[in-house]
Structure 1
Amino acid sequence: MSNPQGLARRLGTFDAVVIGLGSMIGAGVFAAFTPAASAAGSGLLIGLVIASAVAFCNATSSAQLAAAYPTSGGSYIYGRERLGPWAGYLAGWGFVIGKTASAAAMAMTFAAYAAPPGWERPVAIAAVVVLAAVNYHGVTRTAGLTRILVLAVLAALAVGVAACWGGSAPSPANIPGDGLLSHGWYGILQSAGLLFFAFAGYARIATMGEEVRDPRRAIPRAIGIALGIAVVIYAIIAVTLLAALGPDGVAATPTPLAAAVGAGTLAWAVPAVRAGAAVASLGALLALIAGLGRTTLAMARHHDLPHWLAAVHPRYRVPHRAEVTLAVVICVIVAFADLRGAIGFSSFGVLIYYLVANIAAFTQPAEGRRYPKALQVFGALACVVLVSTLPPLSAALGVLMFAAGIVLRVVRLKR
């Protein structure tokens, strides 16, 4: 079953943009504002600006590196090529472990919206199995389903925003709350770190670099377009939520957009918003499984994970063993744990991932550069700052995750 050839280049720029959007406007747009408001109140708006700026710097680094190394693996490959095997390993380990937890969280989030009481775990497992099967049958199937899911999510968000503003006419006076700086800069930076979780999806474009046609041109363009669209959408949602509920109201509900719609006179739109959240969770889960499979493939090729996982299906040209293995792991996690609160933990791993990307891009020679080094310096420093301001439990779990990864690699190298 193993095929030594690479993956097939079947995705165009539009497909890459859609996959990036499917990752960035997933369940995070419906859930990330609650912990951000708890940390910063209305200062989450400043946090959103900071998260957007950090995401832009990281995106330029990823785009510059993807143009030079158009293969599967994203920052795992960039770190290996520019900084050495250990840097690449830490980036890949943080991505695989953090995003596996995120995938389980997305599956449980979908089930929370779509399953009847008591059936959440079976429905979440069924969702993982179905989406893994879609990924197994080729990247074009993945891109096709992602288009449908993205359109459905955008429609749900449009209905939700229109219902908020057309219902009880939210008051702009609610937006400032007690003041943008009432929770201090620490709270604002913490909200930025939490909101960054929602922007991290553009990494999926880079991790699939081996399947994009004309990657040196298409990947940088797709990353920029997808990030720009996501920033606009998040800004609109943030202002709408604060105007409808105020900072305290956003912090008090796990489903802020549905609560904002329900508080108005067009509450009939709440089911549409909840359905959109369920579909968004599926879109994020689909993109996560695809990105995880490609990073696992790259790590297995270099023996940082079992080499058996490096197989490519001879017909579908996908990392089938990696995707099946990951699907099984995600299903086991879903069966025994509820990781819907894994935003901070995942943010820790992703910020380390992008720290490696920024440093790797900084080392590129002049002929391979597309953006000034200042962006990479700011991006790297911002990743360090945001990691240091994540909730203590998230940071502690993140440190343990990387410590376990280091121990495993040291043991493997000694053998």
Structure 2
Amino acid sequence: MTNSPGLARRLGTTDAVVIGLGSMIGAGVFAAFGPAARAAGTGLLIGLALAAVVAYCNATASAQLAAQYPESGGTYVYGRERLGPWWGFLAGWAFVVGKTASCAAMALTFAAYTVPPDWQRPVAVAAVAVLVAVNYRGVTRTAGLTRVLVTVVLCALTVAVLAGLVGGGAAGGGPLTWTAGEQGWYGVLQSAGLLFFAFAGYARIATMGEEVRDPGRTIPRAIPLALGITVVVYAVVAVTLLLTLGPDRIAGSAAPLADAVGAGSWDWASPVVRLGAAAAALGALLGLVAGVGRTGLAMARTGDLPRWLAAVHPRHRVPHHAEVALGALVCVLVLTVDLRAVIGFSSFGVLLYYLVANLAAFTQSAAHRRWPRALQMAGAVGCVVLAATLPWQSVVAGVVVLVVGVLYRGMRLKLAGR
């Protein structure tokens, strides 16, 4: 184990809720409804409800575990403590690899909304560097910037909804009628798996449990509150899109909210939506850097990642080595590949992560239990079902990543034994 100092408890309930909102109300709200509509048509509303139910089950498991283990690392720590080192490693590995790819995707998404194509990769690199620098300065800086970004995003979404419903665009989608898409109920389940990607950010609160004041009280309050607010926002946006564009136009759109605004008479609102999308991408990226950095710190403390990453800055009390290394890797990815189509892959990794969380919470004793075991059972089954219905390419990519992780840890343990 490392002798570096621990992280500082500087986050209150409001800070924790804001960080959760910044991670959930991210670029997914501007992009995830297109793939969901292609899979399920109007049935994406049922998919959204299913995703929200599974997310709630997972959120209660994470909150319950975080109250007992208020450390950095989230499900990586919970899996190790309750189920064994391999379970923790699989959860941590899936999270770190999947969310590192998501970091690159969010950086490129931000650049796509702000600059011409030729400038997108340099601007994306600059965005990564700036947000890593903000995280480096301390968790209170992270919470402060997240608060600003969340405010901008919510204002932009409000304008977009009003533009669609009041600005004359709602007539374009016609009445809200049921269509299940070409794949029927399978497509509805697939849309739930894709939309689950949008809810996954509440784990950021648990992952940063070592920096929350009074974690036994704060985390169980903050996670359900942040998730509840997000569900309401996403439901309003989904209904607005269906009324404004209809499922077919949503399915064919790369930017459904922008198209919904353009369908009405509020043309002036289009730049506001673009600003909101850019801010959402930055908010998601900021939360991802913080979450992956803390999970990397936890894995490095036990030797599952290089121990150099376990360093904590003596003044700012952040995992600065892990965050700088993550920033460098994300910059390389941004400059070499385009990962903006990783929603399915990221969803697979996150669903595995929460499967482990539910299994770990199921083993907790009555003294640490805040919600019934039935919720953990439902959450575990929901994770498996949603993962199985994701596009097969996403499932294959996720399995390959897990196999690479197992080989890596197996070799490390073998070398350590020698």
Q: Distance in 1 between matches of 2:117 and 2:173?
A: 38
1:19 matched to which residue of 2?
A: 19
Equivalent residue number for residue 389 of structure 1: 389
Q: In 1, distance between residues paired with 2:342 and 2:139?
A: 27
What is the distance in 1 between the residues matched to 2:271 and 2:402? Answer: 40
1:46 maps to a residue whose letter is I
CA distance in 1, matches of 2:9, 2:174: 49
Report how far residue 176 of structure 1 moved. 4.0
Contact kept in structure 2, 1:23 and 1:288, CA below 8 Å: yes
**What is aligned with 1:113?**
113
Give CA-to-partner distance per residue, 1:241-262, whole Å, 9 cap, x none.
0000000000111100000000
User: What runs of 5+ residues in structure 1 fail to find an aligned partner?
Assistant: none
TM-score (ref. length: structure 1) = 0.98
Q: 1:40–1:188: 8 Å Cα contact kept in structure 2?
A: yes
Alignment of 1:6-405 (within 5 A): 6-171=6-171, 174=174, 176-177=176-177, 179-180=179-180, 183-405=183-405
Q: Give a deviation string over 1:170-205, Cα, whole Å, max 9, x none.
A: 149735455247641110000000000000000000
SS of corresponding position for 1:36: helix
Alignment TM-score, normalising by the size of structure 2 = 0.97
| Whole-Å separation in 1 of the counterparts to 2:221 and 2:190 | 30
CA 1:87/1:175 → structure 2, altered by over 3 Å: closer, same or farther?
Answer: farther
* Amino acid across the alignment from 1:379: G
Deviations 1:108-158 (A, max 9, x none): 000000112301000000000000000001000000000000000000000
How many angstroms apart in 2 are the aligned matches of 1:181 and 1:346? Answer: 23
Contact 2:39–2:191 (CA under 8 A) maintained in structure 1: yes
User: Structure 2 vs 1, CA of residues 175 and 133 (structure 1 numbering), >3 Å: closer, same or farther?
Assistant: farther
CA distance in 1 between partners of 2:296 and 2:287 (Å): 14
C-alpha distance in structure 2 between counterparts of 1:38 and 1:175, whole Å: 19
Q: What value does the CA root-mean-square deviation take over the aligned residues?
A: 1.2
Equivalent-residue separation in structure 2 for 1:156 and 1:3 (angstroms)? 45
Query: How many Å separate the matches in 1 of 2:381 and 2:388?
Result: 11
User: Partners in 2 of 1:375 and 1:174 — Cα distance?
Assistant: 38
Displacement, 1:268? 1.3
Aligned residues: 414
Aligned-pair distance for 1:367? 1.1
Task: Look up the equivalent residue of 1:351 and give its one-letter code.
Answer: L
Cα distance in 1 between the residues matched to 2:182 and 2:328: 45
Provide the secondary structure at the position in 2 that maps to 1:315.
coil
SS of the residue 1:118 aligns to:
helix
Q: Is the 8 A contact 2:172 2:246 kept in 1?
A: no
Kindly indicate whether the alpha-carbon contact (under 8 Å) linking 1:46 and 1:180 is maintained by their aligned counterparts in 2: no
> Is the 8 Å Cα contact of residues 310 and 322 (structure 2) preserved in structure 1?
yes
**1:325-354 superposed Cα distances (whole Å, 9 cap, x missing partner):** 000000000000000000000000000000
Indicate conservation of the 8 Å contact 1:43/1:182, yes or no: no
- The answer on whether the counterparts of 2:163 and 2:266 sit within 8 Å (CA) in structure 1 is yes
Aligned partners of 2:364, 2:59: CA distance in 1, in Å? Answer: 15
What letter matches 1:252 in structure 2?
Answer: G
Distance 2:102 2:170 in 1: 33
How far is 1:166 from its partner?
A: 1.3
Structure 2: which amino acid aligns with 1:199?
A: F
Counterpart-to-counterpart distance in 1, 2:413 and 2:51 = 37
Displaced runs of 4 or more, over 2 A:
171-183
Query: Secondary structure in 2 aligned to 1:10?
Result: coil
Shift of 1:41: 0.7
- Quote the Cα distance in structure 1 between the aligned partners of 2:321 and 2:154: 33
CA distance in 1, matches of 2:180, 2:267: 29
- Aligned residue for 2:118, secondary structure, equals coil
Identity value in percent: 68
SS in 2 for 1:119: helix
For 1:35, give the aligned amino acid: P
Query: Following the alignment from structure 2 to structure 1, what is the Cα–Cα distance between the partners of residues 179 and 17?
Result: 36
**CA–CA separation in structure 2 for the residues paired with 1:323 and 1:151:** 25
One-letter amino acid matched to 1:191:
S
Q: Secondary structure at the match of 1:174?
A: coil
- Say whether the 8 Å CA contact 2:104–2:334 is kept in structure 1: yes
1:56-76 CA distance string (max 9 Å, x none):
000000010000000000000
Deviations 1:191-234 (A, max 9, x none): 00000000000000000000000000001100011000000000
Matched residues in 2 for 1:327 and 1:144: separation?
20
Cα distance, 1:267 vs structure 2: 1.5
Aligned 8 A contact 1:42 1:175 in 2: no
For 1:315 and 1:176, how far apart are their aligned partners in 2? 55
* CA–CA distance in structure 1, aligned partners of residues 248 and 303 of structure 2: 49
